[in-house]
A and B are shown apart, each in its own frame.
Chain A
Amino acid sequence: MMSETVNMPMNKERTEPATVYGLLAEFSDAGAIVQSAEQVRKAGYTRWDVHTPFPVHGLDEAMGIRPTILPWIVLGAGLSGLVAGLGLQWWTNAVDYPLLISGKPIFSLPANIPVIFEVTVLLSAVTTVFALFGLNGLPRLYHPVFTNQRFRRATADRFFIVIEANDPLFDAEKTQSLLSSLGATAVEVVED
């Protein structure tokens, strides 16, 4: 189990001066994080994020996250697959090297549908995975919040709001007092 007293020195070999990444606020339950996220959004912050150990229902709405464009990307990929699958068979079987198979017309749609279907599914599925990674900025091996000891419990039993220092509204004192007033159990500066 993670203990509060464990204090591993991190970044001890730091050569350049630390810059402030933002403020991290710790909350102890899911209900509080949803209400706090709503308050942070209403306060007008735009560059901030919430970290929870499990998916919390209603958090997207509370944070004001807009619907993803992923479905449109996948739709485009699927349609490209459809055209590519059809075009490939048309070009190879009917134009470039006509092949007569079991007396069917050189170009006949029923025979082409299985390949069209497979290429459409393949392109849609592969695009879903990679576009998902891309839109989320993954893979990402380092994040400034990793330097914070408390943040280790984000995968166990604690909930965090991080407001970045480069948010236009960020003000070390005001932001700190906002987060404290929301009932955060701790508010700490995250350095990068």
Chain B
Amino acid sequence: MSAIEPITLSEDQLQLHPLGRSLFRKAGIVGVVALAFTFVVSLFTADLRERFFFSYLLNFTYFLSLSLGALFFVALQHLTRSGWSVVVRRLAEFIAANVVLLAGLFVVVLLGLTHLYHWLDAEHVAQDSLLQHKQPYLNLPFFLIRCVFYFAVWSWLSRYYLTKSVELDESGDVNLTLRMERISAPGMILYALTVTFAAFDLLMSLDAHWFSTIFGVYYFTGGFVGFVSLLALLAILLQKSGRLRHAITAEHYHDLGKLMFAFIFFWGYIAFSQFMLIWYANIPEETGWFFQRQSGGWGWIGLILIFGHFILPFLGLLSRYVKRRKKPLAFWAVWILLMHWIDLYWLILPEYGQEWFFFHSVLDIGCFIGIGGLFLACACYLARDRALIPLKDPRLQESLTFENA
């Protein structure tokens, strides 16, 4: 038994190199080509041009939610001074710092604003007194100012964590850890406000008549459970490629599995809370949104979400056995990542309309591969000559020897 001996990482491969360089090139090329291809397809008809922006927004908000989940994870670990998570925290820092890439990709959303948001259409607003009342908040200049603010906060916070953490690799200066802890409490408040209002602005205002104060939490929760799944998956893949072999153990997977399990339930809890209050009150202004998502084929997608995003993964992740083994955990991680995408599809696409044909899905998948490829390439770029774990973190040893008592 080696319960008390310190663990050394001298035999572990702690760099993404040389895999990172080729992955960066391949993923980057695939991403650019897929986005260019999707854009060309969208030029065929005016209808496809409008649909392109919905596909783009869907996949943009999908990857944004994963980065924001990562940012929350990093801030939370510092806020609670967690020891167990140190060996996976650097991976989260890379994913969080990807938000800078997304800030750049947001330009495409801006190009399609008039296709996406009906509150920007002056003629439409002139006939709609509700939208007129919402003009002081829902107008273009204020919307742009808010968006700049959101991305500035996220970019700054995620860069701060990454650069300070990498600095710590060199110096081992404990003050850096203390500074990251201190920034986390106000950072968390800023995070909660920006994510909530960003969800209102980017997603909820697609139907500007409808409102739900819990909507920001709903978006955050889906993103966080998606991110934890992504983190587990990344750890499994990195270990498969021969990296971090000794650093990450069944104990860490067990904890990641617990977070997946807990936040799958939390998602169900939030989704149901949103639904039940509106169902009970039965006010047309609020029920319209759900009515639209229960009619046509959308009701089936809603059922897929109830079972696929809640009941099945809840039962699947209940057991300790599953959480401590890579194969079943990887299965549920991929499952949850897929369900989170379907969840956003169900939130966004009903606003485009009922009709569907083949090229719509081409656009969806094209944008997914496009933004996803760039997302992966950016993460590889950030990891280019940095270690995959915080080498001199004061809690590294605690994390390495961590066991679920």
A: residues with CB less than 8 A from B are: 30-31, 34-35, 38, 55-58, 61-62, 71, 75, 102-104, 110-111, 113-114
Q: In B1-43, which residues have CB < 8 Å from any A CB?
A: 1-4
Q: CB distance A58 to B280 under 8 Å? A: no
Q: Are A102 and B320 in contact (CB under 8 A)?
A: no
Q: Compute how far the CA of A146 lies from the CA of B282 in the bound complex, rounded to whole angstroms.
A: 65
A98 to B272 Cα, complex, angstroms: 25
A38 touches B320 (CB 8 A): no
The answer to the question of B405 belonging to the interface, with a C-beta cut-off of 8 Å to chain A, is: yes
Residue total for B at the interface (Cβ-Cβ under 8 A): 16
Among A56, A57, A111, max chain B CB count under 10 A is at A57
Write the chain A residue with the least CB distance to B319: A71
The reply to whether B276 and A56 form a contact with Cβ atoms under 8 Å apart is no
With A57-B403, A71-B320 already in contact, the answer to whether A30 and B3 are too (CB < 8 A) is yes
Contact assessment for B3 and A31 in the assembled complex, using a CB-CB cutoff below 8 Å: yes
Listed by A's residue number, 12 A-B pairs whose Cβ atoms lie within 8 Å are: A30-B3, A31-B3, A34-B1, A55-B405, A57-B3, A57-B401, A61-B1, A71-B319, A102-B280, A111-B276, A113-B276, A114-B276
- Evaluate whether A110 and B3 lie within 8 angstroms (CB atoms) in the complex, with A55-B405, A57-B405 already known: no
A110 touches B403 (CB 8 A): no
Closest A residue by C-beta to B320: A71
- B interface secondary structure, majority: loop
A residues less than 8 Å from B1 (CB atoms):
31, 34-35, 38, 58, 61-62
Pairs A-B, 5 closest by C-beta atoms: A58-B3, A57-B3, A58-B1, A57-B403, A34-B1
Chain B residue nearest to A34 (CB atoms) is: B1
CB distance from A62 to the nearest CB of B (A): 6
B280 x A56 contact (CB < 8 A): no
Question: In the complex, what distance in Å separates the CA atom of A38 from the CA atom of B1?
Answer: 9
Given A102-B282, A110-B276, A113-B276, check contact A31 B4 (CB 8 Å). yes
Complex CA gap A184/B95 in Å reads 52
**With the chains together, A31 CA to B272 CA distance in Å?**
50
Using A71-B320, A110-B275 as known contacts, list a sample of 10 further A-B pairs with CB atoms less than 8 Å apart, ordered by residue number in A. Answer: A30-B3, A31-B1, A34-B3, A35-B1, A38-B1, A57-B403, A102-B282, A103-B282, A110-B276, A114-B276
Q: Which residue of A lies closest to B279 (CB)?
A: A110
| Among A58, A62, A103: residue with most chain B CB under 10 A | A58
Contacts of A38 in B (CB 8 A): 1
Q: In the bound complex, how far is the Cα of B3 from the Cα of A102, in angstroms?
A: 61
Q: Hey, which chain A residues are within 8 Å of B2, CB to CB?
A: 58
Q: Does the CB pair B4–A113 fall under 8 Å?
A: no
Chain B residues with CB under 8 Å of A71's CB are 319-320
Tell me the minimal C-beta distance from A159 to chain B in angstroms.
13
Chain A residues contacting B401 (CB-CB under 8 Å) are 57
Residue of A nearest to B2 (CB): A58
Q: Are A113 and B272 in contact (CB under 8 A)?
A: yes
Name the residue on A nearest B405 (C-beta): A55
- Minimum CB–CB distance from B218 to chain A (whole Å) comes to 17
- In the complex, what residues of B have CB within 8 A of residue A111's CB? 276, 280
Q: A75 to B405, alpha carbons, bound, how many Å?
A: 21
Instruction: Report how far A34 CA is from B3 CA in the complex, Å.
Output: 9
The complex places the Cα of A174 from the Cα of B4 at a distance, in Å, of: 30
A56 touches B320 (CB 8 A): no
Q: Mark B270-304, 1 if CB is under 8 A from A, else 0.
A: 00100110011010000000000000000000000
CA distance A102 to B403 in the complex (A): 52
Interface string of B304-325 (1 = CB under 8 A from A): 0000000000000011100000
Q: Which partner residue on chain A sits nearest B318 by CB separation? A: A75
Knowing A110-B275, A113-B276, the reply to whether A56 touches B3 (Cβ < 8 A) is yes
Q: Which A residue sits closest to B276, measured CB to CB?
A: A110
Which residues on A sit within 8 Å (CB–CB) of B320? Answer: 71
CB distance from B249 to the nearest CB of A (A): 12
Compute how far the CA of A57 lies from the CA of B401 in the bound complex, rounded to whole angstroms. 10
Q: Which residue of chain B has the shortest Cβ distance to A35 in the bound complex?
A: B1
Shortest CB-to-CB span from B315 to chain A, Å, is: 10
**In the complex, what residue of chain A is closest to B251 when comparing beta carbons?**
A57
Nearest CB on A from B299, distance (A): 15
CB distance from B107 to the nearest CB of A (A): 42
Which chain A positions have C-beta within 8 A of B276?
110-111, 113-114
Query: What's the least CB distance linking B321 to chain A, in Å?
Result: 9
Docked Cα-Cα span, A62 to B276, in Å, equals 50
Chain B, 251-279, CB within 8 A of any chain A CB: 272, 275-276, 279
Q: State the Cβ distance, A184 to closest chain B Cβ, in Å.
A: 18
Expressed in whole angstroms, the minimum distance between the Cβ of B66 and any Cβ of chain A is: 29
Complex CA–CA separation, A10 to B130 (angstroms): 84
Chain A residue at minimal CB-CB distance from B273: A114
User: What residues on B are CB-neighbors of A56 within 8 Å?
Assistant: 3
CA gap between A71 and B272 in the complex, in Å: 26
**Assembly CA distance A62 to B3 (angstroms):** 11
In the complex, chain A residues whose CB is within 8 Å of the CB of B318: 75
